[in-house]
Structure 1
Amino acid sequence: MFQIRPSSLLRRARLAAPWLGLLLALPVVQAQEVAGLAPDLIARVQQLAQNGARAGMPAEARVVVEVGKLDPRLRLAPCLQVQPYLPAGLQMWGQTRIGLRCMDGRARWNVSLPVRVRVFARAVVASDPLPAGAVLVQEQLSMAEIDIAAEAGAVFSDATALQGRTLARPLAAGEAVRSPSLKLRQVFAAGDSVTVLASGPGYSVAGEGQALAAGLEGQNVKVRFENGRVVTGRAIGERRVEVLL
């Protein structure tokens, strides 16, 4: 039988002791700490999500970020520097994700962390339950602070803009009036002369063109200018089309 003498074990322990002390002193983020999210990492994730959400919300709104958990099946290598980032194409709105990647050069991993971004602001809501097909009047509407990121669709901050609009689906009392809740409204007919508003970084211009199809509010439509050029824009109001360049 192969045996190790106690004196041999003692010598090995003495040789290993300095290295063991050095390893214990290193500020390594262990895999289980990453999976559980260290407090400073949670704070950076929340700040990143807050900054991303503020790009598309009303100035007076307040943002609450709820950080989820990494997939428990992940087995991440130890990492000295974990960097949170905004994944391309994802909005910091409602149920979304923040990327986490190891940046210390020793380990290579890149994972996504679920987050919920709640944006509270005042918006128009139904004062009482309203059936589909109801034609809205101001007496049926009121203002309330809601989570405007809870569902898809734009909300409204001015009840007068909804006067005469028709509901496409029923609303519960206190539920926000969102753009998908409304029946599409035709704002011009095919052949009508329309104002085309073109905008880009740092500039905005307007011109006149002819609608090649009926304009439904919020929907894309083609417009032809006098020189024959055809552009596609979004119908945004009475005889108005917006083109983003």
Structure 2
Amino acid sequence: MTAHPLGLARAALRLRGWLKAAAAMAACMAGVAFAQAVADPASELAPITQRWLNDALTRVPSSGAPLRMEVVVGELDPRLRLAPCARVEPYLPPGAKLWGRTRLGLRCVQGATNWNVFLPVTVKAFGPAWVLVGNVAPGTPLAAGDAIESEVDWAAESAPVVASPDLWVGQLASRQLVAGQALRQSMLRAPRLFQAGAQVKVVARGPGYAVSAAGQALTAAGAGETARVRMDNGRVVSGLVSENGTVEIAL
């Protein structure tokens, strides 16, 4: 129930076509034909779509179903008066991602007056996810019947979708959850294996050896979370909590 790289690659090709149309829009506003504005659209847009593909693949581990992509291209401010330009270059502004609501930069790189504008773009990625059937109070463990499978826009929020029941059944709601919401990583936290003040086992591991000692937890934590522990000598250390509640420190 996660996106397949082949499906994303095909979506990247479609995205390139949509971005090409966006660049054409700016070129038309500059009073030139698109063929004149961008000599080689494929080479101009390839880096942008490759960045999108790389970003998408980090969000959705490969498995089965491809995502169904949709791109909504907004409009430039109609009050803009762009000077004629022989070459319009599309680019992604620093920090921007082609995921959800974003923007595409368009700049004139060959004209009497160079200009730079931003075009609003919304990238949607529809795929299977688990949607809550009712409200869930903070700290409540989620059961299998709390959500049903449905198609949602994965890109509607920045937090990754939790697409497998194995990853959310038994997890706790990190905040008030509302019916109709798609389950995402930011909505969940692992059950607490110990509270602040509890005595915990700390294991420090190095190449070929492991040393264990007891300490007092300074923070509550669950499996996979980072916990701070005060050792008997007063030193405070941080480590990753294992499934059995041991705090593991890599040396």
Q: Do both proteins adopt the same fold according to a TM-score greater than 0.5, normalized to the shorter chain?
A: yes
Query: Which one of the candidate residues 148, 172, 176 is aligned to 1:169?
Result: 176
| Equivalent residue, structure 2, for 1:181 | 187
Partner amino acid, structure 2, of 1:180: S
Whole-Å Cα distance in 2 between the matches of residues 161 and 30 of structure 1? 43
Deviation of 1:188 after TM superposition, in Å, equals 6.6
Q: How far apart are residue 65 of structure 1 and its match?
A: 1.5
> How far apart in 1 are the matches of 2:33 and 2:134?
45
TM-score (norm 1): 0.59
Match of residue 156 from structure 2: 150
Matches within 5 A, 1:230-245: 238=243
**Is the contact between residue 148 and residue 155 of structure 1 (CA under 8 Å) also seen in structure 2?**
yes
Q: How many residues of Structure 1 are paired with residues of Structure 2 in the alignment?
A: 198
Q: 2: CA distance between counterparts of 1:70 and 1:91?
A: 19
SS at match of 1:169: coil
2:202 partner amino acid: S
Aligned to 1:108: 114
Is this contact kept in 2: 1:49–1:65, CA < 8 A?
Answer: no
Q: Report the CA distance between 1:192 and its aligned residue.
A: 4.9
Percent sequence identity over matched residues?
A: 34
User: Is 2:161–2:183's contact at 8 Å kept on the other side of the alignment?
Assistant: yes
2:176 match: secondary structure: coil
1:106 is displaced (CA, Å) by 2.6
User: For 1:36 and 1:211, how far apart are their aligned partners in 2?
Assistant: 70
What displacement does 1:62 show?
3.1
1:100 to partner: Cα distance = 0.7
Q: How does 1:81-160 map to 2 (within 5 A)?
A: 81-126=87-132, 128-133=133-138, 134-160=140-166
Partner residue, 1:203: none
Deviation at 1:49, TM superposition (A): 6.0
For the 8 Å contact 1:68–1:113, the answer to whether it is kept is yes
Aligned partners of 2:27 and 2:34 also within 8 Å = no
TM-fit CA distance, 1:164: 2.0
TM-score, normalised to structure 2's length? Answer: 0.58
**RMSD of aligned residue pairs (Cα, Å):** 4.5
Farther-moved stretch of structure 1 (215-224 vs 104-113): 215-224
Which amino acid in structure 1 is aligned with residue 135 of structure 2?
Answer: L
For 1:20, the equivalent position in structure 2 comes to: none
Please give the alpha-carbon distance, in whole angstroms, between the structure 2 residues aligned to 1:119 and 1:149. Answer: 6
Between the aligned partners of 2:238 and 2:31, the Cα distance in structure 1 is: 48
For the pair shown, the structure with the greater C-alpha radius of gyration is 1
Alpha-carbon distance in 2 for matches of 1:121, 1:165? 22
The one-letter code matched in structure 2 to 1:110 is: N
Match status 1:193 vs 2:199? no
Higher relative contact order (CA 8 A, sep 6+): 2
**1:85: Cα distance to partner?**
0.6
Is the 8 Å Cα contact of residues 31 and 84 (structure 2) preserved in structure 1? Answer: no
